[in-house]
Amino acid sequence: MKKLSILIPAYNSERWLPRCLTSILSQIKDGVEVIIVDDGSTDKTLQCAREFAEKWSCIEVFTKKNEGVGAARNFLLDKARGEFIWFVDSDDYIVEGCLSLLLNELSETLDLLSVSYNEVNLNPFEGTGLEFIKMRLINGYLWSKIIRRKIINDTNIRFDSERCSQEDWFFLMHVYPHLNYVKQITLKAYLYCDDNGQSVMRGLGMEHKRKLIADSRETICKFKDFLNDIWQEPYAETYEQWLNFSVAGYLYSLFPLDYSIDEVKNDVNIFREKGVYPAGDTGIRKFNVFLSIVNHTCLYVLSIRLYRLLLLNKILTKVRTFSKDK
């Protein structure tokens, strides 16, 4: 059995995939496989992946019709043979020299390894998944987690194939309670990049943004159903705070979005009917202060109107200044 499967879903990433693969292959070790699935790209992503595979025997390349990142990740899980799996996005890359250090951390008893990324230096931790949850060390960043594949297979946990956003943290929230041994280290191993406007996760068009918002809303509602099922579990209270935090983030995201006030009110009503609005304690003071305002629909709508008015005035001022300069 391979020690580690590095799983890369790729969509329209011909520009970034070489950087990603080079960062891995420059430090590749025996026992590591790299599996790429092209999710119906319309550029030369598949050709790029196959060119690398011709030179490196550790790479396998698959292609499938475009069904979204959740379905692509499920496809990769079915193809993986490693004892551990690590999802790496095709427009990100891993830190030079980190791979051998990570492999040394993958012990026989370890279930999940959480690594530092970008400028985020995580605090060291060792304990169970429940302790990891209780200490609020959980997050939804899939790419900073190396997970024992048996845990995922034994529990039959899979990604929501209907979502192109938020499916990663929903997946992880199902995984965390099943972990007997979690280790978090300060080693910076991953570099998340935000320079691909063509990827599934980072498209900049308004239609794409609306899709992401809709997926976020549906995931929050789905997580509420999950919370109702596990309300007697010892981690339910922490998960409820996470849910409230997610609602706060969602409500905040609507401020600059090209959403009509009627659409905003409709989303609030959806949350109200689901029982997640008004949102409760997040465990974080600044978010609780924000919720103390937006939990009142009238104040929330008024705040959005004022924000957009101020933003419009700011834009008009810049336009006038530009016109005068010309």
86 φ/ψ angles, rounded to the nearest 5 degrees? -140, 115
pLDDT of residue 208: 76
* CA-to-CA separations, 111 to 128, 149, 165, 248, 253, in angstroms, rounded: 9, 9, 25, 31, 34
Q: What is the pLDDT of residues 236-246, one digit of tens each?
A: 999 999 999 99
- 222 pLDDT higher than 50: yes
| pLDDT at residue 258 in the model | 83
Confidence of residue 256 (pLDDT cuts 50, 70, 90): confident
pLDDT at residue 324, rounded to an integer: 55
Most confident of 53-62, 197-206, 305-314: 53-62
pLDDT at 252 over 80: yes
Higher-pLDDT residue of 217 and 321 is 217
Mean pLDDT estimate for the chain: 93
Percent of residues, the chain, with pLDDT higher than 70: 94
Asked if 16 contacts 91 with a C-beta cutoff of 8 angstroms, the reply is yes
Question: Which residues lie below 8 Å from residue 320, measured CB to CB, with a gap of 6+?
Answer: none
Any idea what DSSP says for residue 44? S
Residue 325 confidence (pLDDT): 56
The span from the CA of 137 to the CA of 135, in Å, is: 6
> What is the tens place of the pLDDT at every residue in 111-122?
999 999 999 999
Alpha carbon distance 64, 326 (integer Å): 52
Q: Which domains does the chain have, with CATH numbers?
A: 4-191 (3.90.550.10), 206-322 (no CATH)
pLDDT given at position 202: 47
Amino acid 320: pLDDT? 61
Considering only residues 207 and 269, tell me which one the structure prediction assigns the higher pLDDT.
Answer: 269
Q: Is the pLDDT confidence value at 163 over 80?
A: no
The whole-number average pLDDT for the span 135-157 is 97
Q: What is the pLDDT of residue 196?
A: 56
Q: What is the pLDDT of residue 316?
A: 64
Stretch 34-40: mean pLDDT, rounded? 98
* 256 phi-psi bin (left φ>0, alpha ψ -120 to 50, beta other): alpha
Q: What is the pLDDT of residue 200?
A: 46
Lowest mean pLDDT among 11-20, 240-249, 250-259: 250-259
137: closest CA among 148, 123, 157? 123
pLDDT of 291 reads 98
Q: What is the mean pLDDT of residues 266-280?
A: 98
Q: How is residue 14 written in tokens?
A: 């011909």
- 55-63's contacts with Cβ under 8 Å and 24+ in sequence apart are 56/25, 56/28, 58/25, 58/28, 58/32, 58/33, 58/34, 59/21, 59/33, 59/34, 59/35, 60/33, 60/34, 60/35, 60/36, 61/35, 61/36, 61/37, 62/35, 62/36, 62/37, 62/38, 63/37, 63/38
Q: What is the predicted pLDDT for the residue at 201?
A: 44
pLDDT at 92: 98
The Cα–Cα gap between 233 and 266 comes to: 32
